[in-house]
Amino acid sequence: MRNYQTILNNGETLPIMGMGTYSGENDRETTETAIRTAIKMGYRHFDTAKIYGSEVAVGNALRRAIHDGLVEREDIHVTSKLWSSDHQDPVSALQQTLQRLGMEYIDMYLVHWPVALKPWVDYPIPAEEDFEELDMENTWSGMERCLEMGLCRSIGVSNFSSTKIQHLLDFACVTPVVNQVEMHPMWRQRKLRSICREYGIHVSAYSPLGGPGNAWGTMNVVDHPIIKSIAHKHNATPAQVALRWGLCQGSSVIVKSFNMGRMKENMGALNLKLDEWDLIDINKMEERKIMRGEWLSNHTTSPYRTIQELWDDEI
């Protein structure tokens, strides 16, 4: 799997095929079984977050796999994320994440959203009274302390627009290694990828298939006639084409499926080759962002009155 890694701006490596562990059901046993199966298939990059509620299951599965000799700790990459209610103290938040995972360190810690919420908000969709003023400079300083303390190997962000990346770099001592964002053939992130490339920030794609199976997701990507046509041409599946497109852009992809057949199918994208005409055709596809974050904007308490402000018009 060493061929299927990218090198980040701090010299750390990142497996380009990641396994997401968010699940609406959040069944611990199902998650642990899926992760063990994924390790046997060759997955080495596991993505979790406090708000997903999957950190305990991820930690259990990975520790057991290491104990059983299926994999070495240094060959696994674990990403978790700072939830919006923990911006005032990233160090304590990461220490709690490590406790839930049963690990001494994680490989990457990301700021989940450029939004601050009150300390008790442990649910994904905040009420109007739940917002706090965002002090990103203080938050990022806390992230840098996590790095200095050895609690993580890398720090980065998620759901940051080009403008927010540039603002962060105005005061950051440590450049983020990653910006994890929605990206797929129907939301191609051309501007953001260009800005991140300029600063050496790796773009990691969540919902690289458009989020089918999630309440907010869609089948529009894998059901698109252009994607289906390219899949037929290469004797591949639409999911493999969509994932390969993301990999062709130099991004890593975070795929979420606990179904053994689809997990194996997703890995098949690593061996698919798209030609120049395939990429030209995909660039003709209409674009629409799926994860729009409407619940993070309001006219009273949020720093963003509209979703256009949240995404700095990159929507």
Which amino acids are annotated catalytic? 52
Largest CA distance in the chain: 54
Residue 48 and residue 58 in contact, taking contact as beta carbons nearer than 8 Å: yes
Name 178's bridge partners: 202
User: Beta 45-47 vs 13-15: how paired, if at all?
Assistant: unpaired
Whole-angstrom Cα distance, residue 20 to residue 38? 11
The amino acid at 257: S
Listed in sequence order, the DSSP H helices in the chain are: 28-41, 55-67, 90-101, 136-148, 162-169, 190-198, 225-233, 238-248, 260-267, 276-282, 307-310
At which residue do the structure tokens 């256009």 appear? 308
Residue 103: which of 146, 60, 71, 48 has the closest Cα? 60
Measured CA to CA, the distance from residue 139 to residue 88 in angstroms comes to: 6
Q: What residues are paired with 108 via a beta bridge?
A: 79, 154
| Among candidate residues 61, 138, 142, the one with its CA nearest the CA of residue 109 | 142
Cα distance between residue 59 and residue 183, in whole Å: 27
Surface-to-core class of residue 295, CB atoms within 10 Å of its CB (0-12 exposed, 13-18 middle, 19+ buried): middle
Paired tokens of 155: 């720090």
Q: Which tokens go with 44?
A: 């080495």
